[in-house]
Amino acid sequence: MSRSCGIRSRRPRLGRNVLLGSVLAGGLVLAGCAGSARHPAAPAGRTPAASRPAGSASSQPADSPAPCRQWSCTPGPALQLGDGYSTRLWSSAAPTAASTPDRSTPVLELLRGGRHVQWWQGRSGFGWRAALDCRPASAAVPAHCAVLAEVGSHAGVAQLVLLRSGTLTGPSEASVSFDGGRPLAADLDGDGWLDVLGTENDYRPNYATGHNFWATYRFDGTSLRRTGCAPRPTSATPQPAVLLTGACPVVSGA
């Protein structure tokens, strides 16, 4: 089967949620072309050679510099999480002068009372094309955020991050990638958790001429699981307002 570019993992698509880390481990050059298999991220660094745990977090002194400082990153507005906590997304300059700009992944800073508590680094996604959507703590669910970013030439990734015991953590199965650019986040079932929706492609016969589908993933506080899909014939097709249950595209071939 012909493809536009990249390396794709092939598995049956219904109910599938395989590891985004496998895309990175497959040697894909993100800046040139992103693979589009849908994966929850594995505990691997953001590049094959990296040893940093995926979605790593570290509590550091208040004067600790941002992990993305070499890419001239700057902070966005702080989003309130409750109990004095807030978080903000640091975005890198684009394009960067670094020889490997794809290593500039999204960075979150956790603050309490306006003072630095912790840095959290995303597993993947371009640090200069990211967005942050957060929900403060409620009686039903803890504070959590969706880190949404573009990756490669046309793909995107979503990572769910939770605030628990004063620390930002990203469950290894709470990350998913898409074929069609930066995904979106919304509470699609009214349970208080942010869910994820984005675009997938059937690659028939390749990405450029294939058919696009909306796909929704439900978050249960631990993992993202795909619930279903619906055709997205044009970019103007309205986004789903509820979790989808229709058939998803099946991509076959090695």
Return phi, psi of residue 121, to 5°. Answer: -110, 135
Cis peptide leading into 95, omega within 30 of 0?
A: yes
Where are the domains positioned within the chain? Answer: 21-42+54-187
Check residues 238 and 56 and name the one with the higher pLDDT: 238
Q: What is the pLDDT of residue 95?
A: 73
Q: What is the pLDDT of residue 129?
A: 87
Q: What is the pLDDT of residue 172?
A: 87
29 pLDDT tier (thresholds 50, 70, 90): very low
The answer to whether 125 touches 151, Cβ cutoff 8 Å, is yes
Q: What is the pLDDT of residue 228?
A: 98
Q: What is the pLDDT of residue 216?
A: 98
pLDDT > 60? residue 253: no
Q: What is the pLDDT of residue 97?
A: 61
pLDDT > 90? residue 114: yes
94 pLDDT tier (thresholds 50, 70, 90): confident
Strand partners, 151: 155
User: Quick one: tokens of 225?
Assistant: 């699981």
Other Cβ atoms less than 10 A from the Cβ of 49: the count is 6
- Name the DSSP class of 246: B
User: Quick one: tokens of 129?
Assistant: 């094309």
pTM to 2 decimals?
A: 0.76
Q: What is the pLDDT of residue 112?
A: 97
In this structure, the chain runs to a length of 254
Looking at residue 28, its amino acid is L
What is the average pLDDT score of the chain?
79
CA distance 8 to 4: 11
| Lowest mean pLDDT, pick from 36-45, 56-65, 187-196 | 36-45
